[in-house]
Amino acid sequence: MVQGLLALLPISLTLYFLIWLVTTIENSLTPLIPENLYFPGLGLVFGLIILVLVGLAVNAYVVRVVIRWSGKIFERIPIIKTIYGAIQDAVNIVNSGKQQKMQSVVSVKITDSIHLIGFVTSHEGAQELFSNEQKLGVYIPLSYQIGGYTLYIDKDQLTPLDIDVETAMRIALTGGSVSSSKTNDNNFSKSK
């Protein structure tokens, strides 16, 4: 029974979230559509069109200024700044994961026999803090938690890993208990 639950839980929760998201978008945008034009699913189509238009508008200078200005206002309101900051950080992690190359995932050498998975966050921040040293900012996530440490580490203690950011984050956050099929296939072929 427990194995069946564990097998179905990720699929069930994902489907539930998708259904909830589609239903929420449909229900919130349906009142904006005239009744004589409405058919089921039009709210979702309308929502997708709005997202595309917003995505195009973000490239305009005026819209970027308005978004930046509204972000600064949210960052000044006591409780809202915590919520806004957490969401903004999550969006930045996703964006940086898409934009950075595979070399942004590194192995951090602690001792000869201990290594941690880390993510290079920025070259510029480390240069500002440690102008005379060859350091990089590396984010070390904590397993099973949303959090971690940003460490400034000498470049010679880092080894780039041939793994994408999403897979490395999944391995780090699950304590190594879940890995990609590519990693499992490589380990299986090496053991033969």
Q: What are 49-104's pLDDT values in tens digits?
A: 888 888 888 777 787 888 888 888 888 888 888 888 877 776 766 565 544 443 48
Q: What angle do CA 120, 125, 127 make, to 5 degrees?
A: 105
Both 126 and 179 in a single domain? yes
Query: Is the pLDDT at 182 greater than 60, yes or no?
Result: no
Pairing verdict, β 135-141 and 114-122: antiparallel
pLDDT of residue 118: 85
Both 55 and 110 in a single domain? no
Average pLDDT in the 170-186 region? 62
Percent above pLDDT 90 for the chain: 1
Range of the domain at 18: 2-96
123 SS3 class: helix
Both 56 and 114 in a single domain? no
Query: Is the pLDDT at 192 greater than 70, yes or no?
Result: no
| Residue 164 main-chain phi, psi, to 5 deg | -75, 160
Q: Which residue has the higher pLDDT, 173 or 78?
A: 78
- In the chain, DSSP finds a helix count (H) and a strand count (E) of 7, 5
Both 137 and 116 in a single domain? yes
Q: Looking at 66, 96, 126, which one is the last position of a domain?
A: 96
Q: Looking at 81, 96, 111, which one is the last position of a domain?
A: 96
Both 30 and 62 in a single domain? yes
pLDDT single digits (tens) 13-44 = 888 988 898 888 888 888 888 888 888 888 88
pLDDT single digits (tens) 110-121 = 888 888 888 887
Q: Which residue has the higher pLDDT, 156 or 19?
A: 19
Local confidence band at 187 (pLDDT 50, 70, 90 cut-offs) = very low
Q: Rounded to an integer, what distance in angstroms lies between the CA atom of residue 58 and that of residue 85?
A: 20
Q: What is the pTM of this model?
A: 0.44
Both 18 and 77 in a single domain? yes
151 SS3 class: strand
CATH of the domain at 176: 2.30.30
What's the mean per-residue pLDDT of the chain?
A: 77
Residue 114: in which H helix or E strand, if any?
strand 114-122
32 SS3 class: helix
Two structure tokens written together for 110: 């602690």
Query: Is the pLDDT at 108 greater than 70, yes or no?
Result: yes
Q: Looking at 72, 96, 120, which one is the last position of a domain?
A: 96
pLDDT of residue 178: 62
Both 147 and 118 in a single domain? yes
Both 110 and 162 in a single domain? yes
Number of folded domains that form the chain: 2
